[in-house]
Structure 1
């Protein structure tokens, strides 16, 4: 059976991990995650709750991977971006675009 090369990535606030592995053609995203060993390194990952994607496009665990796909495991948001914007507006802070002064 032919093999493809894929990557599995996950990041916390302090640590990032990118694993490259060869898997059989027809491997699903979930199978690649499990084969990568990343679940042992980051036991907090819960695939029943966390979303995954391939190159920032959300996919399901049963998505069949293609050569050079990068499977990304997303962490839950710590803060709701809409709520953060509301708080800034309430405090009278102006958000600047592009970081310019």
Structure 2
């Protein structure tokens, strides 16, 4: 690899349980949009993206070894999903109640 190049990994999850990763080599001074174009992945133009889990605009500069991530919209509100999981598991199998000492008070 020449001094004037950088490597980045472009990651996207088009559907639940499906992850696509492509490693790209770009010239120094490249931006997030350049990495997305070089990846060859068919991604929506308006999809939000980020570097290492932090949202950034598409014109943000890349550094060598960056992980460019493309995010998709949530299908379920995380709070609702947690409530539904709690109902399925039951109160005795989740949270503080799951780790209760034998003979201990409820909630401790």
TM-score by length of 2: 0.70
> Displacement, 1:16?
1.5
Q: How much has 1:38 moved relative to structure 2?
A: 0.9
Question: Which residue of 10, 18, 22 corresponds with 2:21?
Answer: 18
Match of 1:6 in 2: 8
* Range with bigger deviation, 82-91 or 4-13: 82-91
Check 1:85–1:24 CA distance in 2 against 1; reply closer, same or farther (3 A cut). same
Residue 34 of structure 1 corresponds to 37
Q: CA deviation at 1:35?
A: 1.1
Give the SS at the match of 1:38: coil
State whether structure 2 residue 52 is matched by structure 1 residue 55: yes
Aligned residues: 93
Larger radius of gyration: 2
Q: Distance in 1 between matches of 2:38 and 2:85?
A: 43
The C-alpha deviation readout for 1:56-98, integer Å capped at 9, x for no partner, is 111111101000000000111001123334556788x54835x
- Which consecutive segments of 4 or more residues in structure 1 shift more than 2 A? 82-91, 93-97
Unaligned runs of 5+ in 2: 100-108
C-alpha RMSD of matched pairs (Å): 2.7
Structure 1 unaligned runs (5+)?
40-44
Q: Which has the higher contact order (CA 8 A, sep 6+)?
A: 1
